Amino acid sequence: MTTARALHLDRVIQSLPRRYPGPGGAVAVLRGGEVLVRHAWGFANAERRIPFTPRTLFRMCSITKQFTCAALLDAFPDPSVLDGDVRARLPLLTGEAPGARHLAHNQSGLRDYWAVAMLHGAPVESPFGDLEAAAVIGGTRTLQFAPGTRYAYCNQNFRLLSDILQDRLGESFATVLRRRVFDRAGMPHALLAADTRAMPDGTEGYEGSQAGGFRAAENRVLWTGDAGLGASLDDMIAWERHIDATRDDPDSLYGRLTAPVAFADGAPAEYGFGLRRANEFGRPATGHGGALRGWRSHRLYLPGERMSVVVMFNHLSNAQEAALDVLAALLDESRPAADPNLPAPDWLGAYREPETGLSARIEPAGPGRIRLRFGHSPELLDLQPDGTASNAGGTRLAGSAAGVTMERPAENLRTRLEPAAAVPADEATGRGGDLAGTYRCGELDAVLTVADAGGTMYGGFSGFLGSGRMELLDPIASDVWALPCARALDHTPPGDWTLAFRRGPDGRVTGVTLGCWLARGLEYGRVG
């Protein structure tokens, strides 16, 4: 590395606490197995004044998933031998059940259980442990797509895998991880920290902002193979060094994790065995992010350059963006920027995607950019000179005389969006609307209540986990509304729920199809 590039990297590292402010954080940079940066700052526990150091234990959140899959492949090189175990844990499921590989690749078709928990009325930050998880998973009756045909992020895919490993191997999942992964990679302090209420060394995760202040985040969810990993920066450095040291061995843990993955139709999949395959600055990369309430992390490995970046925040700043900032400095590249001179397209507006039934809202987002509200969270797309819009994640929108086409290759989805009818004035305000009532989902045995409260529409869920709060509904199109979910059990919330109301021949509302990107296609009938 040249002196100039090393100085630039150092400036970027030193800027992280200000660019992404919060109680504390840590970053590591490696090249060819050599540690170039090992740096921590701030406080692991601001109240107790415990410094954040490279040895501080940290909740790695969804980075856990690759470790679960590493243990899976080490114990069962052919995961399909566990397909019957998966089926046994879905006793009510009708039709084809996903296999173990489908789970590991997020191609199972299962609806995410912490999203479904909100439909069962789980209050924000309520306890969610083994019993609650088993009830939600075991109650599955249908899938949202045929296994292997699509990608959708689903946490319980990896919880199921860890539960199966534990039962098959006759030892705790914590022991499975220690024997099969942590000891092999030289991660002495890594552990399964399933109970999210506290870390052994007192480290706290925080929510809030520099402007509004920070407070310790309340976590009451028990995570296992999906998000239970606790590890220090030094542990993660050991993982990155293990990856690089075994890079030429196709039978290494990471070599098997990064083997090519495809969908049932043969299309290449960008996600497999708990890892995302991507291109960063035109170079192949593998990695994953992690997020629970109060915690954000991200790791990347570029095999061609033998480079690794790990970022850990015990607050809610964007660790992925920080990792890309560091990687850009390491590669001497510039982050791409939108062209502010490109005009907004004439196809902005509200649509529905026919396969998922979800709304797709396309909005302006500043010079040269638009915002798409469809997936788990809003996405920014840069306008292109050919009139399309796209982002680094692969999402692409294109308008033509035939309509708007949306491509999401990571999900194996290419679709033409259906324009949504404009919202009548009286419906937008709720006055004169006939949507208020009680709706029941037979599959979930759960209820949606829609209320006209003084001329304004609200909605809320209830079920065996309790009664969720009533939320102000947002009109999208005629008979299509969004129920916002700004807070949930943990992590970022599942996103806006699309409520698509149905009417009978007489024009009266008879039911609603409900879903979000993590949990789609649930039918509710009107019962009151």
Per-residue buried b or exposed e for 490-512, using 16+ beta carbons within 10 Å of the residue's own CB: bbbbbbbbbbbbeeeeeeebebb
CA distances from 60 to 4, 224, 519 (A): 33, 12, 24
Q: What is the CA radius of gyration of the chain?
A: 23
Res 197: pLDDT: 82
Residue 12 pLDDT exceeds 80? yes
Assign 421 a pLDDT band (cuts: 50, 70, 90): confident
For range 425-447, the mean pLDDT: 80
Whether 89 shows a pLDDT value over 60: the answer reads yes
Specify whether the backbone of 457 is left (phi greater than 0), alpha (psi in -120 to 50) or beta.
beta
Q: How far apart are CA 220 and CA 201, in angstroms?
A: 18
Alpha carbon 259 to chain centroid, angstroms:
22
Q: Do domains 349-419 and 425-526 have the same CATH topology?
A: yes
79 contacts 73 by C-beta, under 8 angstroms? yes
Task: Answer yes or no: CATH 3.40.50.620 is held by domain 349-419.
Answer: no
Quick: pLDDT tens for 446-481: 999 999 999 999 999 999 999 999 999 999 999 999
Overall fold of domain 425-526: Lipocalin (2.40.128)
Q: Which CATH number fits domain 3-109+145-331: 3.40.50.2300, 3.50.50.60, 3.40.710.10, 3.40.50.620?
A: 3.40.710.10
pLDDT tens-digit readout, 20-50: 999 999 999 999 999 999 999 999 999 999 9
Residues in the chain: 528
* pLDDT tens string 476-497: 999 999 999 888 887 677 889 9
Distance CA 214, CA 10 (A): 27
126 is catalytic: no
**Domain parsing of the chain, residue ranges:** 3-109+145-331, 349-419, 425-526
**Phi–psi pair at 424, nearest 5 degrees:** -60, 150
Q: Determine the pLDDT at residue 176.
A: 98
Q: Which of 336, 314, 316 has its CA nearest to residue 325?
A: 336
Separation between Cα atoms, residue 187 and residue 203, nearest integer Å: 18
- pLDDT given for residue 493 in this prediction: 74
**What is the share, in percent, of the chain residues with pLDDT greater than 70?**
98
- pLDDT tens track for 152-167: 999 999 999 999 999 9
Per-residue pLDDT, 476: 93
Which pLDDT score, from 0 to 100, does residue 518 have?
95
Q: Quick one: pLDDT at residue 432? A: 45
What is the per-residue pLDDT across 108-134, written as a single tens digit (0 to 9) for each?
Answer: 999 999 899 999 999 988 899 999 999
pLDDT over threshold 70, residue 427: no
What would the pLDDT profile of 325-375 be if each residue is shown by its tens digit?
Answer: 999 999 999 988 899 999 999 999 999 999 999 999 999 999 999 999 999
pLDDT higher than 80, residue 10: yes
Q: Place 424 in a pLDDT band, splitting at 50, 70 and 90.
A: low
Are 493 and 481 a contacting pair, CB within 8 Å?
Answer: no
> Quick count: other Cβ atoms within 10 Å of Cβ 219?
23
**Other residues' Cβ atoms within 10 Å of the Cβ of residue 46:** 19
Average pLDDT of the chain?
Answer: 95
Q: Of the residues 65, 162, 308, 359, which is catalytic?
A: 65
According to the model, what pLDDT value does residue 429 have? Answer: 55
Residue 217 is encoded by which pair of tokens? 């985040």
pLDDT surpasses 50 at 431? no
Please identify which of the residues 62, 108, 232, 317 carries the catalytic annotation: 62
**C-alpha pair distances (Å), 375 with each of 481, 485, 504:** 16, 13, 30
Residue 383 vs residues 282, 304, 380, 395, 467: alpha-carbon distances, Å: 19, 30, 10, 12, 42
The model's confidence at residue 428, banded by pLDDT at 50, 70 and 90, is: low
Catalytic residue flag (residue 478): no
Q: Please answer whether residues 263 and 275 qualify as being in contact, where contact means their C-beta atoms are separated by less than 8 angstroms.
A: no
